[in-house]
Amino acid sequence: MIELKQVTWKRERLTLLDEVSWRVRPGEHWALLGLNGSGKTTLLNIVCGYIWPTSGEVSVLGRKYGEVDLRELRKSIGWVSNSLQDKLYKTDRAQYVVLSGIHATIGLYDAVSDEDETRARGQMESLGCLHLWDREYGTCSQGEKQKLLLARALMASPQVLILDEPCNGLDLFSRERLLESISELARRPDAPTLIYVTHHTEEIVPELGHALLLRRGQVFRSGPVADVLDSATLTEFFEAPVAAETHGGRVYVRAL
């Protein structure tokens, strides 16, 4: 699904990614874990083809960058981020926000079919936000908006879906409701490959079976969650003593 081979990206004298290699196989869902400034956003921009690596090779969905039309390939990659929330029209109805995902537009300008509306209803119902139908987007809570953005991204039937710190700004209860929706999405037989970006281990739900730990632009460790999210590894990763405790299939970290 995704393969990076020794990818480096430099800006002026700064090396923001340093020989990053990463492989995501079909059927895997990954968490991308790193502190602020670790290179997560740079890595995502390279995966989506928005910036070009200084060196190294990138392949997504079996197609090598440099040999594929990136505009077409991006249609198979969904990206949900908080930055998109502010770009959407606050007076749009919730279902229009979801339907706009078909053409990845800000606002709905194309005619929609009954089939499109049925799909939108189905996506909103599966994510627990169908009750928002006909609500103005601007009146929705932060958690409700994130669910609408998820439904919007799924309207394009992406093969890869990037969730870029989707729980930022959510209270405890809104976070848990959103994470449950993400778990349910990951369990669908037709689910896209999920890449969940965070700097909080407790947000990594059990369905995200693999984790890539990124530190200062380098891969610190990658593999099954059980192998990389333990006390010894995370202590070394965070460069501070921590204890990792598992509850309900999720890893909670506390400072020592």
Model confidence band, residue 24 (pLDDT cutoffs 50, 70, 90): very high
Task: Assign 3-state DSSP to the chain and report helix, strand, coil percentages, each to 5.
Answer: 35, 30, 35
Q: Minimal CA–CA distance to 90: which of 35, 122, 136, 127? A: 136
The pLDDT, as a whole number, for residue 13 is: 87
- Segment (H or E) for 81: strand 77-81
Q: Say whether pLDDT at 86 is over 80.
A: no
Q: Say whether pLDDT at 87 is over 80.
A: no
Rounded to whole angstroms, the maximal C-alpha distance in the chain is 57
Distance (Å) of CA 200 to CA 157, 189, 220, 253: 28, 27, 16, 8
Q: Say whether pLDDT at 109 is over 80.
A: no
Q: Say whether pLDDT at 206 is over 80.
A: yes
- Least confident among 65-69, 109-113, 188-192, 225-229: 109-113
Q: Under a CB-based contact definition with an 8 Å cutoff, are residues 146 and 129 in contact?
A: no
- At 115-162, the pLDDT tens digits run 889 999 999 998 999 999 999 999 999 899 999 999 999 998 999 999
Fold type of domain 2-82+159-255: Rossmann fold (3.40.50)
SS3 of 225, please? Answer: helix
Distance (Å) of CA 241 to CA 235, 255, 256: 5, 6, 6
Question: Taking the domains of the chain in order of start, what are their residue ranges?
Answer: 2-82+159-255
In DSSP terms, 77 is beta-bridged to 160
Q: Say whether pLDDT at 107 is over 70.
A: no
